[in-house]
């Protein structure tokens, strides 16, 4: 019988999970729509479906690690889903914020392994922020820094958390939709905007530069708060890095009160999932 952990990386759009060896190697992956708009019961059912797909009779589960998003982006709380899973599966269930787990993997095995203070920022439906200092999660209580909900503009667009002008509204997927409308582009999502930039579309290139400016403003606040050695960007939006990095770095350079950190892009495809092997230690 094969021994493995199950690592979850749950976002506002998809539930992604994988079997992870004791050494942190991903053995199998499975994804299912999160369907957060359909409420708690549906999200719970989808999570169990993923587990049923992965935990076949030949697998001995060493533990289930839940990388769970902020309550502002997920109606089902981490304590609620932990209870549901624990009632069905008799193995350890532990949890941590998804951005924390992403950052932990980067600090131990990835772009941050040579640095002391590592900040990870995930750019997707929402914006997550995790901090690892001396190879340990700075806030290891299943929560992470809520920098995605720090307001950059008190008169800005209303966020899902109820506040206005949050960082997430300028550096997440909703920001890209607004910018696409501003630049009169018919692209439906970040991937399509990325493809347009690759094709040399001038409006798309300008859009990514404006996005980089806003992202840089948010990263400046993170720099001033934590004085990190390195900030590592992850999530689907980070794929477009080369189109927004110049504007982003310029904002940090001109506005940060502390020395600008190194900025890198994650090379891991599933960092938060792989963290299941070491998050429980």
**Model confidence pLDDT, tens digit, residues 38-80:** 999 999 999 999 999 999 999 999 999 988 877 767 888 888 9
pLDDT tens digit string along 232-270?
Answer: 999 999 999 999 999 999 999 999 999 999 999 999 888
Asked if 273 contacts 20 with a C-beta cutoff of 8 angstroms, the reply is: yes
The length of the chain, given as a count of residues:
281
What does pLDDT average to over the chain? 91
- 59 burial level (CB within 10 Å; 0-12, 13-18, 19+): middle
Lowest-confidence region among 93-102, 128-137, 162-171:
93-102
pLDDT at 206 over 90: yes
**Better-predicted residue by pLDDT, 168 or 144:** 168
pLDDT at residue 12 in the model: 77
pLDDT tens digit string along 145-175?
Answer: 678 899 999 999 999 888 999 999 999 999 9
Reported pTM: 0.84
pLDDT at residue 274 in the model: 86
pLDDT band at 181 (very low <50, low <70, confident <90, very high): very high
Q: In DSSP terms, which residues pair with 231 in a beta bridge?
A: 119, 263
Torsion of CA 10, 141, 273, 50, to 10 degrees: -50
- 221 burial level (CB within 10 Å; 0-12, 13-18, 19+): middle
Domains in the chain, start-ordered, CATH in brackets? 2-100+270-277 (3.30.420.40), 114-265 (3.30.420.40)
pLDDT band at 139 (very low <50, low <70, confident <90, very high): low
pLDDT band at 281 (very low <50, low <70, confident <90, very high): low
pLDDT band at 142 (very low <50, low <70, confident <90, very high): very low
For tokens 């992604």, name the residue. Answer: 16
């Amino acid at each position: 019988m094969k021994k493995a952990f199950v690592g979850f990386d749950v976002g506002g759009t998809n539930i992604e999970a994988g079997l992870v060896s004791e050494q942190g190697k991903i053995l199998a992956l499975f994804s299912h729509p999160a369907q957060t708009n359909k409420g708690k019961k549906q999200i719970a059912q989808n999570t169990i479906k993923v587990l049923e797909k992965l935990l076949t009779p030949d697998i001995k589960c060493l533990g289930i690690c839940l990388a769970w998003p902020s309550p502002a982006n997920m109606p089902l709380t981490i304590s609620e889903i932990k209870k549901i899973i624990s009632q069905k599966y008799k193995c350890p269930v532990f949890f941590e914020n998804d951005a924390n787990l992403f950052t932990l993997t980067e600090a131990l095995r990835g772009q941050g392994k040579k640095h002391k203070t590592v900040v990870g920022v995930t750019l997707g439906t929402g914006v997550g922020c995790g901090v690892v200092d001396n190879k340990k999660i700075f806030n290891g209580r299943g929560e992470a820094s809520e920098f995605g909900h720090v307001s950059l503009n008190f008169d800005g667009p209303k966020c899902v958390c109820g506040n206005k002008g949050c960082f997430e509204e300028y550096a997440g997927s909703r920001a890209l939709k607004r910018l696409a409308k501003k630049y009169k582009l018919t692209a439906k999502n970040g991937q399509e905007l990325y493809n347009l930039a690759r094709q040399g579309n001038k409006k798309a290139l300008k859009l990514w530069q404006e996005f980089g400016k806003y992202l840089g403003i948010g990263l400046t606040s993170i720099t001033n708060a934590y004085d990190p050695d390195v900030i590592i960007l992850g999530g689907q939006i980070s794929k477009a890095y080369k189109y927004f990095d110049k504007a982003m770095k310029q904002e940090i350079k001109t506005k940060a009160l502390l020395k600008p950190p190194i900025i890198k892009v994650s090379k891991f495809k599933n960092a938060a999932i792989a963290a299941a092997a070491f998050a429980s230690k």
